[in-house]
Amino acid sequence: MGSETTLKLPTIDFNDLNLDDSNNNNSKWEVVKSKVHNALIEYGCFEAIFDKVPLELYKALFPSLEELFDLPLESKKLNASKKPYHGYVGQYPMVPLYESLGIDDANVLEKVEAMTNIFWPNGNPNFSKTIQSFSEKLSELDKIIRKMVLESLGLEKYLEEHMNSTNYLLRVMKYKGPQTSEAKLGLSSHTDKNIVTILNQNQVEGLEILTKDGKWISYEPSQPGTFIAMIGDALHAWSNGRLYSPFHRVMMCGNEARYSTGLFSIPKGGYLIKTPPEMVDEEHPLLYKPYDHVEFLNYYYTPQGQADQFALRTYCGL
Ligand SMILES: O=C(O)CCC(=O)C(=O)O
Ligand SMILES: [Fe+2]
């Protein structure tokens, strides 16, 4: 019998942890922190178990997404945004199965309601409440992870500035089933450009993550209701390359549609991402010049930037 090993991402359990636990000498906090640090150095991501998003809410999300994507294309296109990739994205010949919509400040009810009213002029309180409460509860996981990261790097003194320098975007996605048994591209391989991304999906799999040594891991949830937490290029740059921001893609087969969401913590425009001096020494020369995330995106969304797998390096690498 051939021995085939299937690569698996680490799974980390965040149940019973709170953001202020690190101030109370909580031993579970220290154990989890060390697992987070190791996973982010090795894989740039991990599977998270986090029951502050109750399973009922997690499940309520997917019918809401179906309702949204079932709207006519003209309605979905009403969600325009000045920021690239924050509004409606779809009908791209390169990724014909994919469409997505961005909800800025998805943890703030008034913002979600305002966007909901664009799609449903008479409102849709069930939709806005589900999206907002899901995003708000999940943003706590983002904060716990970022606090653990800063503590592990010895950068606690930047915590307040770091936390205040970001907003949340919830991007909701639909991938049509390609009606084939052979896998088709759902979303092209890329690294995320933000700080931390937290993904989840309905029962249809398809997310793949590239390891440092060039192997694709197909993500299979270890239990219902789990998340994938992933580092983006902004945190990779800020940690001066210590944390890895992994390439990932979506591959689809079969008939069923895949619905997924990503909660993105995103640096605010005008805020300069500047590697702290503590991260730079002889062994770790500075990798990136200070940069503004929103200005960088203006490069990333040019045809040249889109064709560039290492856009951040081209834009401000040393
Ligand atoms: O749908 C997914 O699971 C991945 C989406 C993704 O990578 C992204 O939106 O950046
Ligand atoms: Fe991504």
Instruction: Report the pLDDT averaged over residues 263-290.
Output: 96
User: Would you say 180 and 93 are in contact if contact means Cβ atoms under 8 Å apart?
Assistant: no
pLDDT of residue 6: 73
pLDDT interval class at 298 (50, 70, 90): very high
Q: Is 109 exposed, middle or buried (0-12, 13-18, 19+ CB in 10 A)?
A: middle
Residue of minimum CA distance from atom 1 in ligand 1: 260
Name the helix (H) or strand (E) containing 148. helix 125-152
User: Would you say 194 and 227 are in contact if contact means Cβ atoms under 8 Å apart?
Assistant: no
Query: From ligand 2's centre to the CA of 37, what distance in Å?
Result: 20
Mutate which of 197, 205, 220, 258 to test ligand 1's pocket (most atoms within 8 Å of Cβ)? 197
In angstroms, the Cα distances linking 21 to 29, 99, 138, 152 are: 6, 39, 17, 15
- Of residues 20 and 238, which shows the higher confidence score? 238
pTM: 0.95
| Neighbour-count burial for 22-59, b at 16+ CB within 10 Å, e otherwise | beeebeebeebbeebbebbeebbbbbbebebbeeebbe
ipTM value for the complex: 0.99
Instruction: Report the pLDDT averaged over residues 102-114.
Output: 94
> Would you state the structure tokens that stand for residue 191, as one six-digit string?
């690294």
DSSP string, 22-66: GGGT-HHHHHHHHHHHHHHHHTSEEEEE-TTS-HHHHHHHHHHHH
pLDDT interval class at 3 (50, 70, 90): very low
Any residues with Cβ below 6 Å from ligand 1, and which?
171, 173, 187, 192, 199, 201, 207, 248, 250, 260, 262
Q: Does residue 81 have a pLDDT over 80?
A: no
Q: Does residue 128 have a pLDDT over 90?
A: yes
pLDDT of residue 25: 77
Instruction: Report the pLDDT averaged over residues 266-290.
Output: 96
Query: What's the pLDDT tens digit per position in 158-192?
Result: 999 999 999 999 999 999 999 999 999 999 999 99
Q: Does residue 151 have a pLDDT over 90?
A: yes
Q: Which atom of ligand 1 is nearest to the CA of 262?
A: 9
- What span, in angstroms and rounded, lies between the C-alpha atoms of 166 and 181? 41
pLDDT interval class at 82 (50, 70, 90): low
pLDDT interval class at 246 (50, 70, 90): very high
The proportion of the chain whose per-residue pLDDT surpasses 70, expressed as a percent, equals: 97
